[in-house]
Amino acid sequence: MALGALIAAYHEDDQGGLRAVFPLAGRTLVEYQARCAAAVGAAPIVVLVERIPAALQDAFERLRAEGITVVPVSDGTEAASRFEAGALILQLADGLAPDVPLLARLADYAEPAIAVVADDEAHQDFERIDDSNRWAGAALVEGRTLGSTAAMLGDWDLQSTLLRRTVQAGARFVPAGDAMPLLAQRAEDLAGFERRLLVATRGERSDWSSRYVLPIVEEFATERLMDSRVRPDWLVAAGLAVTVAAAFCFSRGWLWPALGLLILSTPLDLIGARLASLRLQPLPPKHLARRLLWPAAGLALLALGWWTGNHGGGWGALFAAVTTAAFAEAAQIERAGLEVPSRTWLFSRRNAIFAAIPFALAGWWVPFLVAAALYAAISFFVIQHFRHHAERD
């Protein structure tokens, strides 16, 4: 059955501004709501708003640029006309910062359903619907119920009236459980929710460099960039371009500038992934620029081996670089789909880059290549060990 979304965006705060344009994660609340609706497959996404200030119009334009089409309407009758009579509609309350898993649970139902929270002090901002439940701000309503409600609405509030009629029709109650939806009445109410979003986007720290070296840089850059127009894939592409530039610098003998570029590249894909998650548009697993970071780093390694081999390192330098690349690639293949204990300490692109710093400070470029080959080989054999154990089990 088709799923649409109806977002209320007409209530004002104490200063006369719309709750829908409260800032959240560098954008506006209504943008987050629309992305949440799109993430669970809702289309069309209709926004009920009596007036469209410039900030709201800008939000709509940003959403359209990201491929999420929103349809602003000014009354309930026009809203109802945007949906098929038999469609189910995900209704989001004005000022709601929703929980995506909760919306996904609602979207899985084939009948009207209402997300509820307990009627207690912690949820007193949410609308009470009976003696023990309050509305959690999200519901699944029928298109025909929206149409009939709009037809008899008069001066009543569409959001509350539609909710009441859905309750009276016997809709299922869905406890929010561990979900933590927030109903913001002031912009300040979203500060804690925004912090939770930032924390939730911290990716898995899969190597020691991203766990112990980069978190401060990654956190700082993510907070500064989340309210910018910078697209996540631009950051990943920048990381790839910088890595290729480092390979060129190594081939010319500009060793320190090359290492500096590689260090610069290490957090860019992590920051891009976090920005994408904040905007509810995660980078696809097969994102091309992200996949090319690994071979580009290998190219930089080979360029270093080639240059040092031709400038006093002998054939052993290039051989060590080739050996490192071969073991690293073999380890990548073997590790696919395998959970390896202590994998944080195994060879990775970022780990190798930061491990090069003390060798570079001492001017030991050839010893670094030898150490990198040993590091990659040990990592490969560790993964092989756990692979064989997994196959026996």
The candidate with the shortest Cα–Cα distance to 37, out of 106, 93, 103, is 103
Q: What is the mean pLDDT of residues 103-124?
A: 90
> Residue 206: which pLDDT band, with cuts at 50, 70 and 90?
confident
pLDDT more than 90, % of the chain? 63
Residue 155 has pLDDT above 60, yes or no: no
Taking the C-alpha atoms of residue 255 and residue 362, their distance in angstroms, rounded to an integer, is: 13
Q: Which amino acid is residue 378, in one-letter code?
A: I
- Residue 377 is predicted with a pLDDT of 96
Taking the C-alpha atoms of residue 35 and residue 79, their distance in angstroms, rounded to an integer, is: 19
pLDDT more than 70, % of the chain? 98
240-252: pLDDT as tens digits:
999 999 999 999 9
Residue whose entry in the numeric block shows the structure tokens 């290492």: 259
Taking the C-alpha atoms of residue 127 and residue 199, their distance in angstroms, rounded to an integer, is: 29
Domain architecture of the chain: domains with CATH: 3-190 (3.90.550.10), 201-392 (1.20.120.1760)
259-307: pLDDT as tens digits:
999 999 999 999 999 988 888 777 887 889 999 999 999 999 999 999 9
- Residue 351 is predicted with a pLDDT of 96
221 CB-near residues (< 8 Å, 6+ apart): 267, 271
- Residue 393 is predicted with a pLDDT of 62
- Residue 154 is predicted with a pLDDT of 62
- Is 245 within 8 Å of 192 (Cβ atoms)? no
- Residue 38 is predicted with a pLDDT of 93
Q: Whole-model pTM?
A: 0.79
37-74: pLDDT as tens digits:
999 999 999 999 988 999 999 999 999 988 898 999 98
Residue 180 has pLDDT above 90, yes or no: no
